[in-house]
Amino acid sequence: MLKALLMAQTSNLGDDIQAWPVWKFWGTVDAVLERDTFEWWYPRKFRPEPGQKVAVVANGWYTHNPAGWFPPANLVPLFISVHVNPEIADKFFRPEVVEYLSQFEIGARDLKTADLLRHFGLKAYFSGCLTLTISNWLPKENKPKGGFQPLIIDMDKNALKYVPQEIVRSASTLSQEISTVARLRTHIARTPIGNFIKRTVPQRFTDKMRLTLNKVFVPKSPFLRLTLAEMRLRAMASASIILTSRLHVALPAASLGIPVVLVHAKLRQDPRFSGLSELVTSYSLDEFKDVGPDLPYDKLSNPNTQRREELKKLLMERLEAFRAHTAS
């Protein structure tokens, strides 16, 4: 059976970080499939022989293509660490998709997705995110040289106002956006112009524009993207603490044993964080305003380590069982 890697052509390095542990788990893959369309991404002209089965670990965020999402018949998937955007649920859970997914027990990345899947009559369990297994392939670096070294990755600027300035000044700063166009788009989205576009332009048009920009302005090679993901993970592994608003900074860092402060304005409302934010020190923006100035940043550690290790064990057991199932 052939092995394929599922990846997304987005400007968010977090998508590639989610694919990275699957890549390491397989060791080698025969091809790469695009996550939203199931088009062959690499090699571009690759096509399996008629009737040839293709094993794929189907994890990640679903989907930018809700009305057209449907796996090809020759795909043998392991649905694990799956997040379904509830805003597109009615378009995504078409009768034929529900019938197809009913064949599987689906590992939900977050608790809200598990509830959503069950709402549509599907078998689901909470698996957590595959990025919790990253430490299997990338051990934590030795204690950083030069003392306490904070790392800030896409921390909300409104939250940074409540971080002691000596922490901000001494920190290195990175972004998960891998396209300058994407960074500009993100900036515009936070302005009055961006709010006007959101109110007046139908989402299907803005989604189509985003996908088009991503395909033009982000790296085309999936293996370059995976290399960028590994470089980012190594940078994270050498930090003393990471401050971020990104889920797929927080979880890989927790896997590597790096203390994390996760601040997100909608932490308590955003379904992506349900069941996962508890694995790191996490706050909504309103909560952080009160505690941020006085946190002992140089003494923090991640909470619920036992729960994190339990999820990691579950994920690896499911991966290994899938490897055995598809070994022929």
Strands, DSSP E only, in the chain? 2-7, 31-34, 40-42, 54-62, 75-84, 105-108, 123-126, 150-153, 172-174, 241-244, 260-264, 281-284
In this structure, are strands 31-34 and 2-7 parallel, antiparallel, or unpaired?
parallel
Q: Quick check: 284 pLDDT over 90?
A: yes
308 pLDDT band, cuts 50/70/90, is very high
Which amino acid makes up residue 166?
E
- pLDDT digits 0-9 by tens, 112-150: 999 999 999 999 999 999 999 999 999 766 556 678 999
User: DSSP label at 34?
Assistant: E
Mean pLDDT over all residues of the chain?
90
Are residues 40 and 46 in contact, defined by beta-carbon separation less than 8 angstroms?
Answer: yes
- CB atoms closer than 10 angstroms to residue 274: 21
- pLDDT digits 0-9 by tens, 243-262: 999 999 999 999 999 999 99
